[in-house]
């Protein structure tokens, strides 16, 4: 009986996590032009709070370089804008990726490689 209860609780906690991880941009969010996106990202520092794992501190320099800290991990590399996507490639994580970005009510949202949509909170 207690084994069944543990399995039920684990299943419920997994369901809660799935509900907490959003994979859709907020309703009414819009794409930005490449120029507007670059302007909104350049020379800014963002905090990203994923549904699971430590927060990120992501600094995007206007010269196309970035610095990121995630818990005890840090990396740096280059970034640019292609359409309404933020593209980046690090030194430690050299596999580059491009991630869609949208805006709603002045807030920027990024769709991660795993499908999770996170807010880029300006610091």
Over residues 79-88, the pLDDT tens digits come to: 999 999 999 9
Domain residues for 78?
Answer: 24-122
pLDDT digits (tens, 9 = 90+) for 31-64: 999 999 999 999 999 999 999 999 999 999 999 9
pLDDT at 99 over 50: yes
Confirm whether 99 is domain-assigned: yes
For the question of whether the overall pTM of this predicted structure is more than 0.85, the answer is no
Dist. CA 41–CA 48, nearest whole Å:
13
pLDDT digits (tens, 9 = 90+) for 2-38: 333 333 333 434 444 444 789 999 999 999 999 999 9
Confirm whether 4 is domain-assigned: no
Confirm whether 16 is domain-assigned: no
pLDDT grade for 70, boundaries at 50, 70 and 90: very high
φ, ψ of residue 36 to 5 degrees: the values are -65, -40
Number of separate domains in the chain: 1
pLDDT at 78: 97
Task: Mention every residue, 6+ apart, whose C-beta is less than 8 A from residue 26.
Answer: 102, 104, 109, 117
CATH code at position 106: 2.40.128.360
Confirm whether 6 is domain-assigned: no
Confirm whether 88 is domain-assigned: yes
pLDDT at 93: 80
């Amino acid at each position: 009986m207690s084994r069944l209860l543990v399995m039920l609780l684990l299943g419920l906690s997994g369901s809660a996590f799935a509900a907490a991880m959003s994979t859709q941009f907020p309703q009414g969010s819009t794409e930005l032009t490449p120029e507007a996106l670059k302007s909104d990202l350049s020379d800014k520092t963002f905090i990203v709070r994923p549904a699971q794992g430590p927060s990120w501190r992501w600094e995007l320099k206007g010269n196309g370089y970035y610095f990121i800290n995630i818990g005890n991990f840090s990396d740096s590399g280059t970034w640019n804008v292609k359409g309404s996507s933020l593209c980046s490639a690090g030194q430690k994580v050299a596999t580059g990726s491009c991630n869609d970005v949208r805006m709603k009510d002045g807030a920027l949202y990024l769709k991660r490689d795993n499908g999770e949509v996170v807010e880029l909170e300006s610091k």
